[in-house]
Amino acid sequence: MADMLQIRYPATGVEAELAITDATIKAPDLRQFRIGEEPLATFDPGFMNTAVCRSSITYIDGEAGILEYRGYPIAELAEKSTYLEVAYLLLNGELPNPAQLADWELLITEHRMLPDKLRTVLAGFPYDAHPMTILMASVAAFYSFYPDARNFEDPAARDLNIARLIAKMPTLAAFAYRKGKARPYVNPDDNYGYCHNFLAMLFKQNERRYVADDRLVRAMEVLFILHADHEQNCSTNAVRSVASSGNDLYTSASAGIGALHGPLHGGANEAVLKMLREIGSVDRVPEFIEGVKAGKVRMMGFGHRVYKNYDPRAKIIKKSVEDVFEVTGVNPLLKVAQELEKYGLNDDYFVSRRLYPNVDFYSGLIYEALGFPPEMFTVLFAVPRTSGWAAQYQEFITDPEQKIMRPKQIYTGARTREYVPMEQRG
Ligand SMILES: CC(C)(COP(=O)(O)OP(=O)(O)OC[C@H]1O[C@@H](n2cnc3c(N)ncnc32)[C@H](O)[C@@H]1OP(=O)(O)O)[C@@H](O)C(=O)NCCC(=O)NCCS
């Protein structure tokens, strides 16, 4: 027998049984209750307790601190896979076998170049444009170059455009970075894998051949794997929402980039670094913590809507920090971060609110050690998140249950007022 929830509204005496599926009730089932003239609805700003889809891509148990892609624990993927393997997994549901991986890597390699005319788009930005705005506008512009992306019902066209976007994101990110540095663009090198090629496009100077330290390439792979997907977060919801009006992948991903740009989402690691710089030294940590407890500032990189335990990605990143610092030398801000973390894990303010370090707490330190300016940090999140957005986009448009997204509101404004002509307005 189906699991049922019994509800009775005493004011009208109406009783109903609502079916419970997957620990949810269907919000439209509440409409049978009338509150005066109005059908009963739910009020849920920020989607605190509302599921918008069924998804088989990413599993999170925030209480236990678990993150899995397609059922594989994140720590194992971060230790054993490459980013492109994980992207394939997210998109296809299974890890690739050697032949599938070779085909996938070749496809991505073939599509790394940007359309030539996009350089004109890039040239139009001011020299100090934030690279996220360049990314957002350029990804939206891809639709002008690849209008077949609207044929998303056709799996072949869909797959091609997904590969195009995943392939071009590092190139676009590297071009945005070099534009800010007034350095000439470096085209992709077919001899390198995804992450090594990215580092080369970013950092190659006059050397004939740029060769990155293996530990840095691996750290990049790990960071990319950790950032590949995170179920229904703000930017993924933006991607799905924009896709819901029948949009192509590029337009939808561009909306995701916009959402990611906010400091409460992808911009948090930039904010962490700013915070660490402002604190400056370990002896100033107690004073900063007092400010947090008094509600004057937030401890950036702490707390999460879903994780009420140590973010599993933060644990893995902490290990990468050590590997990267072996190559680049230790960033003195690390000591400040470690001291903050010590307070955060022991002080009752943080413990009682279940605030733990999240993925952004240490990632900014790695990015800085690798030589990135803070405005590139969110770009380094957007590049790998593209595979997650693409997988979520694909799932959305092939899901018969989905509709155009259109939440309800509770209207609180005036009604049916008499129009006031201009000459009578005070
Ligand atoms: C991520 C975040 C937006 C989640 O917010 P949320 O789920 O809406 O949680 P709330 O804002 O309701 O916070 C709950 C309580 O913890 C406190 N809190 C949450 N994050 C905090 C932080 N980083 N520092 C200090 N206090 C914090 C809030 O002040 C609130 O306290 P109160 O109950 O006394 O009012 C929030 O934790 C935050 O702003 N963190 C810093 C930014 C960040 O690192 N973002 C990256 C996320 S991956």
What CA–CA distances, in Å, run from 370 to 216, 233, 329, 331?
8, 27, 10, 10
111 given a catalytic annotation:
no
User: 399 and 240 in contact (C-beta within 8 Å)?
Assistant: no
177-203 burial by CB neighbour count: b if 16+ within 10 A, else e? Answer: bbbbeeeeebebeeebebbbbbbbbbb
* Residue with CA nearest ligand 1 atom 18: 303
CA nearest neighbour of 405 among 262, 265, 257, 239: 239
Mark 149-172 as b/e (b = at least 16 C-beta within 10 Å).
bbebeeeebbebbbbbbbbbbbbb
Residue of 304, 306, 345, 359 with the most ligand 1 atoms within 8 Å of its CB, for mutation: 304
- Beta strand ranges found along 171-279 (DSSP E): none
End-to-end CA separation in angstroms for the chain: 66
Q: Which two tokens stand for residue 402?
A: 């989905």
Cα 290 to averaged position of ligand 1 atoms, centre (Å): 16
Average pLDDT, the chain: 95
265 is catalytic: yes
Mutate to test the pocket of ligand 1, among 44, 355, 381, 385 (most ligand atoms within 8 A of CB): 355
* pLDDT tens digits, one per residue of 50-85: 999 999 999 999 999 999 999 999 999 999 999 999
Q: What is the pTM of this model?
A: 0.92
Residue of 229, 248, 311, 360 marked catalytic:
360
For 18, the token pair is 């609502």
Q: Which amino acids bring their CB within 6 angstroms of ligand 1? A: 264, 268, 292, 298-305, 353, 355, 358-360
- Distances, alpha carbon 265 to alpha carbons 240, 305, 347, in Å: 17, 10, 25
Q: What CA–CA distance (Å, rounded) separates 68 from 312?
A: 10
Decide: helix, strand or coil at residue 4. Answer: strand
In the residue annotation, 360 being an active-site residue is answered as: yes
Alpha-carbon gap, residue 171 to 185, rounded angstroms? 9
211 bridge partner residues: none
Q: What is the pLDDT of residue 263?
A: 82
The position carrying tokens 């690279």 is 131
Read off the pLDDT of residues 200-239 as tens digits, 9 standing for 90 and up. 999 999 998 999 999 999 999 999 999 999 999 999 999 9
Could you say which of 196, 230, 261, 265 is catalytic? Answer: 265
Å from CA of 304 to ligand 1 middle? 7
What tokens does 136 get? 């957002």
CA 419 – CA 121 distance, rounded (Å) = 46
Say which amino acid occupies 198: F
- 316-373 pLDDT per residue, tens: 998 889 889 999 998 889 999 999 999 999 999 999 999 999 888 889 889 988 888 8
> In this structure, which residue's CA is closest to atom 15 in ligand 1?
353
Tokens of 425: 């307005």
Among residues 227, 229, 304, 311, the one annotated as catalytic is 304
Enter the DSSP assignment of 31.
Answer: G
